[in-house]
Structure 1
Amino acid sequence: MLDVEMMLRDDIEISNVHHRDLIEIKKWMEMKNAFAREETDLDKLTERFLESYISECEFFLKIKKNNKLVGILKGRIEFKVENELWIWFFYLDKIYDDLRDFIIIELMNYFSKEYNATVFFTRVIKNEIENLNFWKQMGFKTIRMVKNFYNVNDRYMDMIIMGKVNG
């Protein structure tokens, strides 16, 4: 797992998820009622954690505000001619929506500075209009669509890959 530790302002900490954090994350996800049942399963969550843990280029991060869990973020950095940061999953409590831009900008700045990342990607479910608009507002553009990529509650949905180049 890629080691990431960021202190933003005085009250926001972004750091690696550890195995001991999974039960807290599971409870938080269930409380938010915004996740598919399969995503909050502790075995699936542990599987996601282990995928990140054994890969030196992946990260699975918890976002805390005043030491309270308010979000999670998962992704990967790929070292290529132009280093790429992939944000696979980003969820933040609705009451902290005003921090979404700030967190993503700081994350991109961190990876630009620490790992010379200049290309940034994310993936979004096509029907999540609010999420699509957020990434567009952040300067991301649609690169391609993958039909029927996600299966949520036995319903297939398209994935949109969005990207942004800094440099």
Structure 2
Amino acid sequence: MLDVHIQFDDIEISNINEEDLPQVQKWMECQKSFFKEETDLNDLRERFLESYISECEFFLKINQNLKLIGILKGRLEFKNPSEAWIWYFYINDNYRNTELNSLTAKKIMKYFSDEYGINTFFIRMMKEDKKSIDFWKDLGFVSIRLVKNFYSIHGEYKDMIIMKR
């Protein structure tokens, strides 16, 4: 796992550790953005371990005054040009439409640009998530690809959209 530490104002972004997983699970259960299947502690632990053993992946907690307010998971790809893939980025539901949400995303991208020379960023999300699509568009992302039936949720298939900046 990449070792990441970002500090600004009262926000600290750092690696999720195994002992953080129960807190992350409880936080996820309180948010409207997650499906019940995504909050299973065993599945969460498996996703953590996948990131932990990969030197290019990151699984991060976003704390405000030591209180968990978000999570971020993704991967850096070191090729020509190097790029970052953000698999998910969630901030507390009550912060989603605030400046803190966009400021946090900008700080994360600046960190990866400064520390690893990453200037190409990709994000993926469900096509139906119009609020997230608009959020990333406001940060300069454009839609580049649609993957049909990528997600399976409650037996129903959903399309995935990939955006790039």
Query: If the TM-score is normalised by the length of the shorter chain, which range does it land in?
Result: over 0.9
- Tell me the distance in 1 between the aligned counterparts of 2:145 and 2:6: 31
The runs of at least 4 consecutive aligned structure 1 residues that moved more than 3 Å come to: none
**Residue 106 (structure 2) pairs with residue 105 (structure 1):** yes
> Match for residue 77 of structure 2?
78
Secondary structure, counterpart of 1:123 in structure 2: strand
- Tell me the distance in 1 between the aligned counterparts of 2:102 and 2:60: 17
- Tell me the distance in 2 between the aligned counterparts of 1:94 and 1:31: 9
The residue identity in structure 2 corresponding to 1:76 is R
The 5 A counterparts of 1:1-167 are 1-9=1-9, 11-97=10-96, 98=98, 99-164=100-165
Secondary structure, counterpart of 1:117 in structure 2: coil
Q: Percent identity?
A: 54
- Tell me the distance in 1 between the aligned counterparts of 2:88 and 2:29: 17
Q: Give me the TM-score of the superposition, normalised by structure 1.
A: 0.95
- Tell me the distance in 2 between the aligned counterparts of 1:12 and 1:52: 22
Root-mean-square deviation (Å):
0.8
How many equivalent pairs are there? 163
Where does structure 1 lack aligned partners over 5 or more consecutive residues?
A: none
- Tell me the distance in 2 between the aligned counterparts of 1:34 and 1:106: 22
- Tell me the distance in 1 between the aligned counterparts of 2:31 and 2:125: 19
> Cα offset for 1:110?
0.3
The residue identity in structure 2 corresponding to 1:42 is L
Where does structure 2 lack aligned partners over 5 or more consecutive residues?
A: none
Instruction: Say if 2:31 and 2:93, in contact at 8 Å, map to a contact too.
Output: no
Post-superposition CA distance 1:22-56 (Å, at most 9, x none): 00011111122431111100110001100100000
> Cα offset for 1:100?
1.2
Instruction: Say if 1:36 and 1:153, in contact at 8 Å, map to a contact too.
Output: no
Secondary structure, counterpart of 2:51 in structure 1: helix
